[in-house]
Amino acid sequence: MKFIVYSFIFIFILSCSFNKVVNHHGVHFLEKKYEKITINKTNKNDIIKILGEPSTKSSFDNDVWIYIERKFSTGKIYKLGRNKTLVNNVLVLEIDEAGLLASKKLYTKDDMKDLKFAENSTDPVYRKRSFVYDFLSSMRQKINDPLGKRKKK
């Protein structure tokens, strides 16, 4: 009987995998596909054939297509299993009016550490009577006169 229990535990332990699970989102191998597209030669159809549909499209003077690749895995046990980012690439393509690739820029995980954000901020504009003030005033009125029959001043 002990032999069966020990063999079952042994088989159970052998079936465990020590490989880490890697979660992958977006376009696979974005850096390799980035090299396949060329400025002023690749058109919209070629881009869709190579990279697929973009994650985000925006239309300004030129079309801007954004492709995202992200890989992450669980971290070490002493870091309490927080996710560790392995790959974080963003490809920004600008397409001109003729449908040809006008510019391309690949941002990697290391490039994103160097991005500078504007430190200026917009000051909020407050009214004398904000939403919170109006809400609390109506609550006070309902508490003082729940049936709404008191004469208003």
**CA–CA separation, 85 and 71 (whole Å):** 6
Please report the pLDDT score of residue 37 as a whole number: 93
Alpha-carbon torsion angle 15, 20, 24, 30, nearest 10 = -120
At 7 the three-state DSSP class reads helix
For the chain, how many helices (H) and strands (E)? 5, 5
Asked if pLDDT for residue 87 goes beyond 90, the answer is no
Q: How far apart are the first and last CA of the chain?
A: 89
Q: Please give the pLDDT value at position 50.
A: 93
pLDDT category at 58 given cuts 50, 70, 90 is confident
Q: Which residue has the higher pLDDT, 63 or 114?
A: 63
Residue range 34-51: average pLDDT?
A: 92
E strand or H helix that includes residue 67? strand 63-74
Per-residue model confidence (pLDDT) at position 148: 67
For 9, 10, 153, the CA distances from 3, given in Å and listed in that order, are: 10, 10, 89
In three-state secondary structure terms, 139 is: helix
Alpha carbons 47 and 30: distance in angstroms, whole number: 12
Answer for the pair 22, 72: CB distance below 8 angstroms, yes or no: yes
Q: Where are the domains of the chain?
A: 19-115
d(CA 64, CA 43): 13
Per residue in 11-22, pLDDT (tens digit) is: 766 666 566 777
Q: Give the pLDDT score at 14.
A: 62
- Coil, helix or strand for 137? helix
- Quote the tokens at residue 56: 């985000």
90-100 pLDDT, tens digit per residue, is: 999 999 888 89
